[in-house]
Structure 1
């Protein structure tokens, strides 16, 4: 009997239902992990680790919140920790032009890779220069994948304000990058 079977058979019905709810998001989690890691093996590992951690920490989940968002945040944090610890190759989500189901065998040349890295560094530097509220809204929306309502809740500001600040942040960033 493996440890996973033990957990499922010996926990309350609530835990079993929770595990089923987590497993319903496994495909989404794998695609997110693939976009973060850039390869199948690391994506599978990250997905499995995230689901295991989520099940283990099920008592910390607030049922009124979005499970998908909670799992996404858990995966993103776990990935960041792994990058810090193991210096894994980071593939920014914004660099993935194709969706995971459309990934081709195209490998950019060294020159293209250098240009992409320089462009990404310029964007990151410009984002860091934005005022805090614009930077926070932009990061939560585009790097963390939060919805408007999730950003509203996280920053404790109205959803309309989130949209306005995001619009202004994008406009400011576009202006800075075009100079």
Structure 2
């Protein structure tokens, strides 16, 4: 976990602190991009863009929130921007048809990813931040710049849709 001192050193240009900070943020940023976009290469592109934005905007980080919260806001926006630029691409189809990892392309893991991808924005972002990154309601509200009650509402609706879509799941099953 990156502490405030590391963030402050990174903001002043300490190269080691910047590298340590970006390495700490890399995996969560990629996970957000992957679950938002549903395609490995797109997620890598969006995560790279998000990390670049984090690096460029590091001087604007005021420290009002946790650095993870601030970085996830950037990651969500980068993934959404990437998705908008590739509207004609259908996520998950390549992986479902025969990705390189048989565990990743079969079973409930793949179906849950696909179901999350089908959620409308911002329900998808709220579900991802809560369940993938274990953010509190307040952290999600801060990250997405929405009220806490709106977070709760999106999370409730998103979970309800996921339960509905996955209720008929059978091992090796397919989403309806």
Q: Which of 1 and 2 has greater Rg? A: 1
Aligned to 2:106: 106
What does the per-residue CA deviation read over 1:68-119, in whole Å, with 9 as the maximum and x for residues that have no partner? Answer: 2222111111121122223153659xxxxxxxx9953339xxxxx9xx88xx
Seen in structure 2, the aligned counterparts of structure 1 residues 88 and 17 have a Cα distance that, compared at 3 Å, is farther
Partner residue, 1:7: none
TM-score in terms of structure 1 length:
0.51
d(CA) in 2 for partners of 1:43 and 1:168? 23
Match of 1:25? 25
1:56 and 2:56 matched? yes
Distance 1:140 1:32 in 2: 8
For residues 152 and 46 of structure 1, what CA distance do their matches in structure 2 show?
Answer: 22
**Greater helix percent: which structure?**
1
Q: Which runs of 5+ in 1 are unaligned?
A: 1-10, 93-100, 108-112, 128-135
Greater RCO, CA 8 A, separation 6+: 2
Q: Counterpart in 1 of 2:137?
A: 148
Please give the secondary structure, in 1, of the residue aligned with 2:35.
helix
Per-residue CA shift, 1:18-62, capped at 9, x if unaligned? 342122121222222222222222222222111111101111112
Query: CA contact under 8 A between 2:126 and 2:140: conserved in structure 1?
Result: yes
Task: Identify unmatched segments of 5+ residues in structure 2.
Answer: 1-10, 93-100, 165-176
TM-score (norm 2): 0.52
Distance 1:65 1:90, change over 3 A: farther
Aligned residues of 1:46 and 1:79 also touching (Cα < 8 A): yes
Distance in 2 of aligned mates of 1:34 and 1:80: 11
TM-align CA RMSD: 4.5
